[in-house]
Chains A and B, each alone.
Chain A
Amino acid sequence: MYQYDELDQAFVDQRVAEFRDQTRRHLAGQLSEDEFRPLRLRNGLYIQRHAPMLRIAIPYGLLASRQLAKLADIARRYDRGYGHFTTRQNLQLNWPRLPDVPDILAELATVQMHAIQTSGNCVRNVTADHLAGIARDEIDDPRPYCEIIRQWATLHPEFTYLPRKFKIAVTGSPEDRAASEVHDIGLHLARDAQGDIGFTVLVGGGLGRAPVIGQVIRDFLPLPDLLSYLEAILRVYNRHGRRDNLNKARIKVLVKSLGIARFREQVEAEWQLSRASAARLPAAEVERVRGFFRPQPYETLEDFDASAGREPAFQAWYRYNTRPHRVSGYRAVFVSLKAHGQNPGDMSCEQMEAVAALAERVSFGLIRATHNQNLLLADVRQSELYDVWLELERHQLAMPNIGTLTDMIACPGLDFCSLANAGTLGVAKQIQERFNDLDYLYDLGDIEIKMSGCMNACGHHHVGHIGILGVDKHGEEWYQITLGGSANGFTALGEVIGPSVPKNEVAATIERIVEAYRALRAEGERFIDTFRRVGVTSFRESAYATHPAAA
């Protein structure tokens, strides 16, 4: 993985010193809350319902064992002994004390981590496919380019005060595992006719209040032009994006109001004028960064079926929680943060320490955070899978439900977030309880539930096969359900099935929906495919069958 040099280390150290001074001035009354807010947000610090919340960046999801161990240490010493992994490969601490935050950031800097630009109206943590570097269908590893973009975007002098937040995702495989089409910029690695590396560039995607799927602005952008082209997009946005209305300030609104053709013209015109003097990407720098992401020193091993002859529980885990690897003899292992009874994405410091130690032993000391709020050990020898399973079992991290209905995404919701309209964690629990039978889950197959506690859509509900959105109805928590969303290769926004349902009806409604699917599906047909074949109306009647609000 990338290792800081003296420039990187000096930068994060100086950033900590700056924030320490800003915090001191705020606590001394020299910076009002309004003045302090944009400064603390750019260091990942929110003030939430009960306490501050600190969002720590895990750039493109990659963590070293010593970094995960440090996160555990911080969670224990400065928080309540756990953290929450988000869809954008960040870790959130829900209970830090404001005066401690500079110390926490200083601790992070000792292991080459930070919370820079994890919130605020600036370029956020750059995300990538969690199977980067090991996927069999990959064109190129996206992580070196993520790291280059991370550095370029860090305290960018021109683009630190944008109209609104700005999210970039990079993928290297045809299958989009990073939801790149619902990012402000999505970069898909590609090769031109000469075999040179570049990107297909999408722009204007985003969820939130008005979800939009990104559109292609450039079919092929040569790699050396990456930064100059990003600067052109951001400059057009910085100058012309709306600043009069927070809800219309994302780049998607600018792209929509101009139309992609005119927006493209403006970006190309800006790019032609600026590329000569803009930041170029020197080939030597690309090579330097790529050097940090070379394939691991794999052993020469044969593939074999590690589950053959083992007990059914291991076989289920093997089937659902491990994935093929491009190198024979290895598999990728999900660390499930979706145990029933747990908040999706939450992890205790004991669990973090156990996984850090396990990764050190069996996966080259590296761990990945996934968009779906799980962790991944990317490079495990097949011969060690059984022992890995036992160890994960011991720490309640082996729930064999990856890709099933209870591997759901959920934001922290009303229990923590001051933006939320409704709770998500109680609903998640309700769903886990109702769908606690693994055989039933396996029969339902591949179903993604994504749940957000408000319109801001941190839980990506628009692109869930089943989306759940918490809404406030006269002070009560109700839930709007959408069907047919997807962000995986074929991006689609879900359709609202009908009136929202009260809190205690959510899991029952979902059960009726999946029962309808079981009745409608063709042999071997996935939920999303059945939905696309038959449409929302076929589900509507069943969903409200016994529901009092249906009338």
Chain B
Amino acid sequence: MRRILRRREIVADDWIHLGEDAADGAALIVPLAELRKDPGRWWQWPGRLGVRLTPVDRVEELADELPRLDLVAVEFPNPGDGRGYSQARLLRERLGFRGELRAVGAGVRQDQVFLLARCGFDAIELAGGEDADAARGALQRYDVAYQPGAPETAIRRQRFFAT
């Protein structure tokens, strides 16, 4: 079973992605394009439902559906593609999403997790080959920050508070 970083703990993943072996009623993550193609089917899914966004997906279009979603997965195809950071902040700060916000994809490495957590990701599904313990440690690399950010990392002090 896949292990993920949820908040500051390494836990067994209780979600599966569409295409992986899924028992009926499992918590399932479906790509947004797939959800749009067959909404009748996926909104009837008997288990918890999550959606997976690619970097080009506009989070604003999900606004009305967010209350019905337990999870939003944001894809980072490589470490250099930073669009998911903006998607995350918009989901949390503008659209008020309170479910699990999960970073997924080949770009999710230990050297990204501090930034990811600061943008509001509370779950991190590391790319294949990444060391979960090292990534967990990397969440604590900095205990200071200049910008306000999500509370998923323990920040001793930051400077520009949101008001």
Query: Interface residues, chain A, CB within 8 Å of chain B?
Result: 6-7, 10-11, 14-15, 17-18, 22, 35, 38-39, 121, 151-152, 154-163, 227, 235, 238-239, 243, 273-274, 277-282, 285
Contact B115 A157 (CB under 8 A): yes
Task: List residues of chain A with CB within 8 A of the CB of B148.
Answer: 279
Contacts of B55 in A (CB 8 A): 243
Identify which of residues 131-163 in chain B touch chain A, using a CB-to-CB cut-off of 8 Å.
141-149, 156-163
Residues of chain B lying within 8 A (CB to CB) of residue A239:
83, 86-87
Flag the segment in B11-19, B20-28, B32-40, B74-82 that touches A: B74-82
A162 to B143, CA, bound (A): 24
Interface size on B, residues (CB 8 A): 35
Contacts of A154 in B (CB 8 A): 146
Is B119 among interface residues, defined by CB-CB distance under 8 A? yes
Best-surrounded residue of B82, B115, B160 (most CB of chain A within 10 A): B82
> Are A11 and B144 also in contact (CB < 8 A) when A157-B118, A160-B82, A161-B82 are?
yes
Question: Closest residue of chain A to B89, judged by CB?
Answer: A158
Q: Give the residues from 34 to 80 in chain B that come closer than 8 angstroms, CB to CB, to chain A.
A: 55, 79-80
Within 8 Å by CB of A22, from B94, B111, B147, lies B111
Q: Is there an interface contact between A121 and B143, defined as CB atoms closer than 8 Å?
A: no
Instruction: Report chain B residues within 8 Å CB of A274.
Output: 93-94
Contact present for A238 and B85 (CB under 8 Å): yes
B109 at the binding interface (Cβ < 8 Å): yes
A360 to B142, CA, bound (A): 35
**Contact, CB under 8 Å: A17 / B162:** no
Docked-complex contact B79 and A282, CB < 8 angstroms: no
In this complex, the member of A35, A156, A161, A163 whose beta carbon has the largest number of chain B beta carbons within 10 angstroms is A161
Q: B156 to chain A: which residues have CB within 8 Å?
A: 10
Is A7 a contact partner of B157 (Cβ separation < 8 A)? Answer: yes
User: Would A282 and B146 count as touching, CB distance under 8 A?
Assistant: no
Inter-chain contact B80/A155, CB cutoff 8 Å: no
> 16 other contacts beyond A151-B146, A156-B146, with CB at 8 A cut-off?
A11-B146, A39-B111, A152-B160, A157-B85, A157-B149, A159-B82, A159-B85, A161-B79, A161-B85, A238-B86, A274-B94, A277-B94, A279-B160, A280-B162, A282-B160, A282-B161
- B163 to nearest A CB, angstroms? 5
| Cβ–Cβ < 8 Å partners of B114 in chain A | 157
* Interchain CB contact under 8 A, A14 and B144: yes
B80 pairs with A161, CB closer than 8 A: yes
Bound complex: CA of A235 vs CA of B94, how far in Å? Answer: 13
The reply to whether A238 and B163 form a contact with Cβ atoms under 8 Å apart is: no
What's the least CB distance linking A275 to chain B, in Å? 11
Chain B hits for A278, CB < 8 A: 162
CA distance A511 to B150 in the complex (A): 61
Nearest CB in chain A: distance from B22 CB, A: 32
Bound form: Cα–Cα A218–B36 in Å: 39
Known: A151-B159, A152-B146, A280-B163. A158 touches B86 (CB 8 A): yes
Known interface pairs A7-B157, A18-B141; A162-B82 also in contact (CB < 8 Å): yes
Cα separation A264 to B54 with both chains bound (whole Å): 26
Q: Chain B residues with Cβ under 8 A from A285's Cβ?
A: 159-160
A160 touches B111 (CB 8 A): no
A357 to B141, CA, bound (A): 37
Closest CB of chain B to A109's CB: distance in Å?
Answer: 14
- Check B81 against A243 for contact (C-beta < 8 Å): yes
Q: How far is the CA of A487 from the CA of B143 in the complex (A)?
A: 41
* A10-B143, A227-B160, A279-B162 given; A238·B82 CB < 8 A: yes
B94 and A279 contact, CB distance less than 8 A: no
Cα separation A274 to B86 with both chains bound (whole Å): 12
Residues from chain B with Cβ under 8 Å of A151 in the complex: 146, 159-160
Q: Give A41 Cβ to nearest chain B Cβ, in Å.
A: 10
Residues in A neighbouring B157, C-beta threshold 8 A: 6-7, 10
Cα(A243)–Cα(B56), bound, Å: 11
Distance in Å from the Cβ of B130 to the closest Cβ of chain A?
A: 10
Look across to chain B and name the residue whose beta carbon is closest to the beta carbon of A120.
Answer: B80
- 26 A-B pairs with CB atoms under 8 Å apart are A7-B157, A7-B158, A10-B144, A10-B156, A10-B157, A14-B142, A17-B141, A18-B141, A38-B79, A151-B146, A151-B160, A152-B160, A158-B85, A159-B85, A160-B85, A161-B79, A161-B82, A162-B82, A238-B85, A239-B83, A243-B83, A274-B94, A279-B160, A280-B160, A280-B161, A280-B162
Q: Report the minimum CB–CB distance from A353 to chain B (whole Å).
A: 33
* Alpha-carbon distance between A158 and B116 when the two chains are bound, in angstroms: 8
Contacts of A17 in B (CB 8 A): 141
Across the interface, do A14 and B81 meet the contact criterion of CB distance under 8 Å?
A: no
Residues on A with beta carbons closer than 8 Å to the beta carbon of B159: 7, 151, 285
Inter-chain contacts of A121 with B (CB < 8 A): 80, 82
> Which one of B80, B142, B144 lies within 8 Å of A38 (CB-CB)?
B80
